Amino acid sequence: MTLSHVNKAGKASMVDVSGKELTERIASARVRVKLNAEAFEAVSENKIKKGDVLAVANIAGINAAKKTSELIPLTHQINLRHVNIEFVLDRESSEIEITSEVKANDKTGVEMEALTAASVSALTIYDMCKSIDRKIEIRDLRVIFKAGGKSGKFENE
Protein backbone atom coordinates (compact mmCIF):
# COMPACT_ATOMS: atom_id res chain seq x y z
CA MET A 1 0.00 0.00 0.00
CA THR A 2 1.38 3.40 -0.99
CA LEU A 3 0.58 6.32 1.27
CA SER A 4 -0.31 9.50 -0.61
CA HIS A 5 1.19 11.93 1.91
CA VAL A 6 4.58 10.26 2.27
CA ASN A 7 7.50 10.86 -0.09
CA LYS A 8 10.10 8.30 -1.27
CA ALA A 9 12.20 9.00 1.83
CA GLY A 10 9.26 8.19 4.10
CA LYS A 11 8.70 11.81 5.14
CA ALA A 12 5.41 13.70 5.20
CA SER A 13 4.77 15.41 1.88
CA MET A 14 2.01 17.31 0.11
CA VAL A 15 0.40 15.30 -2.69
CA ASP A 16 1.30 16.55 -6.19
CA VAL A 17 -1.99 17.41 -7.91
CA SER A 18 -0.41 19.40 -10.75
CA GLY A 19 -1.31 16.73 -13.33
CA LYS A 20 -4.97 16.56 -12.38
CA GLU A 21 -7.72 18.35 -14.26
CA LEU A 22 -9.90 21.06 -12.78
CA THR A 23 -13.33 19.70 -11.88
CA GLU A 24 -16.20 20.92 -9.78
CA ARG A 25 -15.65 19.77 -6.20
CA ILE A 26 -18.38 19.76 -3.57
CA ALA A 27 -18.29 18.52 0.01
CA SER A 28 -20.59 18.75 3.00
CA ALA A 29 -19.84 18.02 6.64
CA ARG A 30 -22.02 17.81 9.71
CA VAL A 31 -21.46 18.15 13.46
CA ARG A 32 -23.71 18.42 16.51
CA VAL A 33 -23.40 20.70 19.53
CA LYS A 34 -25.23 19.54 22.66
CA LEU A 35 -26.10 22.33 25.11
CA ASN A 36 -27.94 22.36 28.41
CA ALA A 37 -31.50 23.74 28.32
CA GLU A 38 -30.49 27.19 29.59
CA ALA A 39 -27.76 27.69 27.01
CA PHE A 40 -29.94 26.32 24.22
CA GLU A 41 -32.74 28.75 25.08
CA ALA A 42 -30.29 31.66 25.25
CA VAL A 43 -28.97 30.82 21.79
CA SER A 44 -32.40 30.27 20.27
CA GLU A 45 -33.71 33.54 21.73
CA ASN A 46 -30.49 35.44 20.86
CA LYS A 47 -29.83 36.34 24.51
CA ILE A 48 -26.14 35.45 24.81
CA LYS A 49 -24.18 38.42 26.18
CA LYS A 50 -21.41 37.99 23.59
CA GLY A 51 -23.87 38.54 20.73
CA ASP A 52 -25.72 36.60 18.05
CA VAL A 53 -24.18 33.14 18.42
CA LEU A 54 -25.36 31.71 15.12
CA ALA A 55 -24.37 34.77 13.10
CA VAL A 56 -20.87 34.72 14.60
CA ALA A 57 -20.58 30.92 14.15
CA ASN A 58 -21.63 31.31 10.52
CA ILE A 59 -18.88 33.86 9.79
CA ALA A 60 -16.35 31.80 11.76
CA GLY A 61 -17.15 28.72 9.69
CA ILE A 62 -16.85 30.57 6.40
CA ASN A 63 -13.52 32.09 7.46
CA ALA A 64 -12.26 28.70 8.65
CA ALA A 65 -13.01 27.07 5.29
CA LYS A 66 -10.98 29.78 3.58
CA LYS A 67 -8.05 29.24 6.00
CA THR A 68 -7.95 25.43 5.97
CA SER A 69 -4.58 25.20 4.21
CA GLU A 70 -3.08 27.37 6.96
CA LEU A 71 -4.44 25.08 9.70
CA ILE A 72 -4.02 21.57 8.28
CA PRO A 73 -0.39 21.18 7.19
CA LEU A 74 -0.63 19.03 4.04
CA THR A 75 -3.81 20.44 2.52
CA HIS A 76 -3.70 22.47 -0.68
CA GLN A 77 -4.76 26.07 -1.07
CA ILE A 78 -8.18 25.94 -2.68
CA ASN A 79 -9.87 28.78 -4.50
CA LEU A 80 -13.31 28.35 -2.95
CA ARG A 81 -16.38 29.42 -4.92
CA HIS A 82 -19.01 28.94 -2.23
CA VAL A 83 -19.27 28.21 1.50
CA ASN A 84 -22.63 27.77 3.22
CA ILE A 85 -23.27 26.99 6.87
CA GLU A 86 -26.71 25.92 8.10
CA PHE A 87 -27.91 25.54 11.68
CA VAL A 88 -30.86 23.41 12.75
CA LEU A 89 -31.97 23.85 16.35
CA ASP A 90 -33.59 20.83 17.99
CA ARG A 91 -35.38 22.05 21.10
CA GLU A 92 -36.24 18.53 22.28
CA SER A 93 -32.59 17.43 22.48
CA SER A 94 -31.07 20.91 23.08
CA GLU A 95 -28.79 20.27 20.12
CA ILE A 96 -27.65 22.45 17.27
CA GLU A 97 -26.90 20.55 14.09
CA ILE A 98 -24.40 22.35 11.87
CA THR A 99 -24.03 21.48 8.19
CA SER A 100 -21.41 23.05 5.98
CA GLU A 101 -21.25 22.92 2.19
CA VAL A 102 -18.17 23.95 0.26
CA LYS A 103 -17.71 24.24 -3.52
CA ALA A 104 -14.70 24.86 -5.74
CA ASN A 105 -13.43 24.21 -9.24
CA ASP A 106 -10.07 22.70 -8.46
CA LYS A 107 -7.71 19.74 -8.77
CA THR A 108 -8.36 18.31 -5.32
CA GLY A 109 -11.33 17.80 -3.02
CA VAL A 110 -12.81 20.19 -0.49
CA GLU A 111 -13.82 17.81 2.28
CA MET A 112 -11.17 19.21 4.63
CA GLU A 113 -12.60 22.70 4.08
CA ALA A 114 -16.12 21.42 4.84
CA LEU A 115 -14.93 19.65 8.00
CA THR A 116 -12.99 22.70 9.13
CA ALA A 117 -15.97 25.00 8.53
CA ALA A 118 -18.33 22.78 10.53
CA SER A 119 -15.91 22.23 13.40
CA VAL A 120 -14.95 25.89 13.80
CA SER A 121 -18.63 26.86 13.74
CA ALA A 122 -19.17 24.36 16.57
CA LEU A 123 -16.15 25.66 18.50
CA THR A 124 -17.49 29.20 18.16
CA ILE A 125 -20.80 28.14 19.68
CA TYR A 126 -18.85 26.50 22.49
CA ASP A 127 -16.83 29.65 23.11
CA MET A 128 -19.86 31.90 23.17
CA CYS A 129 -21.90 29.63 25.46
CA LYS A 130 -19.28 28.25 27.88
CA SER A 131 -20.16 30.76 30.61
CA ILE A 132 -23.67 29.27 30.78
CA ASP A 133 -22.84 25.61 30.14
CA ARG A 134 -19.54 24.00 31.14
CA LYS A 135 -20.56 20.58 29.78
CA ILE A 136 -21.11 21.46 26.12
CA GLU A 137 -20.48 18.48 23.86
CA ILE A 138 -19.31 18.64 20.26
CA ARG A 139 -19.84 15.31 18.54
CA ASP A 140 -20.41 13.33 15.38
CA LEU A 141 -18.19 15.39 13.04
CA ARG A 142 -18.15 13.71 9.64
CA VAL A 143 -18.23 14.22 5.89
CA ILE A 144 -21.77 13.56 4.70
CA PHE A 145 -21.32 14.23 0.97
CA LYS A 146 -18.49 14.54 -1.49
CA ALA A 147 -18.52 14.82 -5.29
CA GLY A 148 -16.01 15.59 -8.02
CA GLY A 149 -12.72 14.16 -9.14
CA LYS A 150 -11.91 10.57 -10.05
CA SER A 151 -13.31 9.04 -6.85
CA GLY A 152 -16.80 10.27 -7.77
CA LYS A 153 -19.71 10.70 -5.39
CA PHE A 154 -19.73 9.69 -1.72
CA GLU A 155 -22.73 9.96 0.63
CA ASN A 156 -22.71 9.32 4.37
CA GLU A 157 -25.97 10.66 5.80
Confidence of residue 126 (pLDDT cuts 50, 70, 90): very high
Tell how far CA 20 is from the center of its chain. 25
Report pTM: 0.92
* Rounded Cα gap, residues 84 and 65, in angstroms: 10
Exactly one of 16, 52, 106, 127 is catalytic; name it.
127
Digit-coded pLDDT (tens) for 68-118: 999 999 999 999 999 999 999 999 999 999 999 999 999 999 999 999 999
* Residue 57 neighbours by CB distance under 10 Å: 25
Give me the domains of the chain, ranges plus CATH numbers.
Answer: 24-146 (3.30.70.640)
| pLDDT greater than 70 at residue 6 | no
Q: Are 102 and 80 in contact (CB under 8 A)?
A: yes
Whether 133 is catalytic:
no
